[in-house]
Amino acid sequence: MREIIRFAWGISSLGDFVVAMSEKGLVALEFSSMHAAMEDALRIRFPEAELERSEDGLAAVMEVVAGVIDDPASDCGLPLDLRGTSYEVQVWMMLREIRAGQTTSYGALAAKLGSRDPREVTAAIANNPIAVIVPCHRVIKKDGSISGYRWGVRRKRALLAREQHGVER
């Protein structure tokens, strides 16, 4: 029997987003206004799975995710089904340890993993399929400047500002 991955589209303060869930948990949270292209990307990412659109079935999840996008410091409580290489999953788990309102650098993450070369960390972060909840937006350049973000630097700045505002409360 083929695995079923359910997905749904939502609208947030940072734009359209798609959520995809396996039986184990969230496998994707991505920002995109190109619905057909993103759905094709999901089919390519999960070639062995049957993708099923499920707006009604994922309504509660969508509400939680929209809330986390508005307040990225909040704990969503959704189970995650992280799918990547063992190295990527290790990096993504490290990202989840970065507290809201704090940032780290690519080099600092690489050093924690025993490497001086941040390129592998950067590549793992770029492959992160779960925006906001796996907070790759909290990784910046060592000089403190904001570098690229898979879903746009504007979103990265907005997420960091929201977290900083939440910490100041």
Do β-strands 139-140 and 104-105 pair in parallel, antiparallel, or remain unpaired? parallel
Question: Within 13 Å of residue 112, how many CA atoms lie on the same side as its CB?
Answer: 15
99 DSSP 8-state letter: P
Query: Where is 17: in which H helix or E strand?
Result: strand 15-21
> Which residue in 100, 131, 136, 160 is the catalytic one?
136
Tokens of 69: 């996008």
Catalytic annotation present for 136: yes
- The contacts of residue 115 (CB under 8 Å, 6+ apart) are 121
Catalytic residues: 136
